Chain A
Amino acid sequence: MYTTVIGLEVHVQLATKSKLFCGCSTAYGAEPNTQTCPVCIGMPGSLPVMNEEAVALAIETGLALNLQIAKFTKWDRKQYFYPDLPKGYQISQYDLPITHDGWLEIEDPKGAFEPKKIRILRAHLEEDAGKSLHDESAGKGDTLIDLNRTGTPLLEIVSEPDLRSSAEAKAYLTELRLLLTYLGVSDCNMQEGSLRVDANVNLHIPSDAAANDDNAQDGKIATPIVEIKNMNSFRAVERAIDYEADRQYREWKETGRRLGQSPKQTRGWDDAAGVTRAQRSKEESSDYRYFPDPDLAPVVISAEVVAKVRERLIELPADLRKRLVADYGLSLYDADVIVNQGRPTVDYYLTVADGSGDAKSSANWLTQDVLRTLKNRELAIEEFSIPAERLSNFVKKIGAGELPSARGREVFELMADDGLEVDAAMDKLGIAQVDDSEIESLCQELLDANPKVVADVQGGKQQAIGALIGQAKKKNPNIDPGKFRATCLALIAKG
């Protein structure tokens, strides 16, 4: 049929305290135009001075994405007129980006696609623009401009067109977001606009026309590239790509138009309608007239600086997954669930697993009960009422048979509700150790009372014992069902 070819441009706001070229705060949510100064408003005479932390965060991200760090990087002006761009140009990087040529590996634990490396062309620094708001009260037909966001540092991460499906695109974005939040270089909050995605999409379609088409490869022609904007969630990115692939195929069937036969088009995603729409093309082709910004000095990045930033690097998600699989014996799926929750969850898990010595059971309790409780109560793991050390004692008790696993959940709930240690919770629930002789006498008693069960077991139907477990629990709620079953079978075997 056809292959969908996708490249993503991701803009992330870097988590600096102050803006890229001035001391205004980058805090989100302030009243409009309360976080500006002559520099970010672009007032006559004002001059930019580069924020060193933004440079460090860009290098850090670069290292994490296997990018080359430029030895020499400079700032360029991208010139266009728009009311959210008060200087009439955006300070960005054109031909010497601070980092270039790296990759991010994506993998699907469910195996929807083969693990692959998505090449990253570049990640460069630039300043964000302000916001245009349509202000009903302001007067008919006016747009209100808020320049608080103007000058916030952005890292634009541009992938090569290596993605081949909306699922891959989503996996790439998810992994990228995870990586950036692990590093703490950005909070990647799409609602607040600290992570924004544009997608470049076209199709490769097997066709006879490929024979005399310079852009064709392997007998496939390429359709014109479309840039999709206005996608406000990863789900929207998936839907928009799927819609666009289908739309381009239909269009190609209709027009036969190939790459190079029509200009690159920009389309906006309408989430409610579930369609992309052509955005009115400007009469003028955008001619940004990039040139080096004379107000800013270039930056020379020495090996020492890179080494210093490297020290800041923490273990990255991909390495953590590998470690959880290799050293803790988890399935890739479990490792993925834990790592994707973010670093605090990983730290929690490591404490529980190391403390209890039972990696698998720790993972089960964490991925099921802990995460479910957090979700229901809308808590972050740091706020959870069962600290990791406490849960590790709990897991240890179950593993040692001191707490019947059948009653584990009850104890867990009580620990979570009342903030109790495992022992206190067990006391409160009256869970006590039942010693072996006690179990044996209870088994004997019930077997004597139920000869049919004994006969069934002797006839090979071991599951018949199940009928006795309920009775046993009534007599003694602390009985461990597993132990009870084993003891009964042993007694029957002994005859």
Chain B
Amino acid sequence: MSISRQEVEKVALLARLTLSDDEAQLMTRQLNDIVSYVDELSQVDTDGVEPMAHAIEVHNVLRPDEVRDSLPRQSALANAPKHSGAGYLVPAVLGD
């Protein structure tokens, strides 16, 4: 499958990236190279094969419902690019 420039733009929005014209052009070319290489997977007969999402397949890893200490608020917010002391600040969520 080949990826069009337009698709690259769409994926960039989906991934919340902005690409300059040059970057988008280069990205389109490189992604096409990679995807055409990856396309060789279509040669493999995978009929009836269970997908394997985990490297080691374990089940039922659960923890008891116990409350543990939370972070002090100042440490939770310490790495925030912008905060009010009470919470994270982000540009207004408008028009949603």
Contact = CB atoms under 8 A, between A and B. Distances in A.
Contact of A52 (B64, B76, B90, B95): B64
B5 interface: no
A55 B95 contact: no
Interface stretch (A27-35, A175-183, A359-367, A444-452): A27-35
Given A50-B62, A280-B96, A32 B67 contact: no
A489 interface: no
Nearest to A84: B93
A121 to B, nearest CB: 24
Contacts of B24: none
A132 B93 contact: yes
A126 to B, nearest CB: 16
Main secondary structure of the interface of B (DSSP, over half): loop
Given A17-B65, A52-B63, A135 B13 contact: no
Contacts of A41: 71, 76
Interface in A456-476: none
Interface string B62-74: 1111111111010
A491 interface: no
Nearest to A282: B96
A25 interface: yes
A16 B67 CA distance: 10
B34 interface: no
B62 A143 contact: no
A52 B86 contact: no
Interface in A223-242: none
B90 A145 contact: yes
A23 B87 contact: no
Nearest to B54: A294
Given A37-B71, A38-B71, A284-B10, A135 B89 contact: yes
B53 A292 contact: yes
B65 A50 contact: no
Contacts of B68: 18, 22-24, 37
Contacts of A24: 67-68, 70
Contact of A141 (B67, B87, B91, B95): B91
B77 interface: yes
B41 interface: no
Tier of interface size on chain B: 35 or more
Nearest to A51: B65
A311 interface: no
Interface stretch (A295-303, A328-336, A347-355): A295-303
A134 interface: yes
Nearest to B63: A49
A54 interface: yes
A300 B60 CA distance: 6
A3 B51 CA distance: 44
B9 to A, nearest CB: 11
A80 to B, nearest CB: 9
Interface in A4-52: 16-18, 22-25, 31-38, 41, 43, 49-52
A144 B62 CA distance: 33
A298 B86 contact: no
Nearest to A302: B60
A299 B62 contact: yes
Given A25-B70, A294-B53, A143 B92 contact: yes
A303 to B, nearest CB: 14
B94 to A, nearest CB: 8
A141 B65 contact: no
A145 B88 contact: yes
Interface in B47-67: 53-54, 58-67
Contacts of B13: 283-284
A480 interface: no
Contact of A17 (B66, B92, B93): B66
A2 interface: no
A135 B67 contact: no
Given A18-B68, A25-B70, A51 B84 contact: no
B67 to A, nearest CB: 5
B41 to A, nearest CB: 16
Contacts of A18: 65-68
A138 B83 CA distance: 8
A18 to B, nearest CB: 5
Contacts of A299: 59-60, 62
Interface of B: 10, 13-14, 16, 53-54, 58-71, 73, 76-77, 79, 82, 84, 86-93, 95-96
25 contacts: A17-B65, A18-B65, A18-B68, A33-B76, A33-B87, A33-B88, A49-B62, A49-B63, A50-B61, A55-B62, A81-B16, A135-B84, A135-B89, A139-B89, A141-B91, A142-B92, A143-B92, A144-B84, A144-B87, A146-B86, A147-B87, A284-B14, A294-B53, A297-B60, A299-B60
Given A31-B86, A49-B62, A52-B62, 6 more contacts: A37-B68, A37-B71, A41-B76, A51-B65, A144-B84, A297-B61
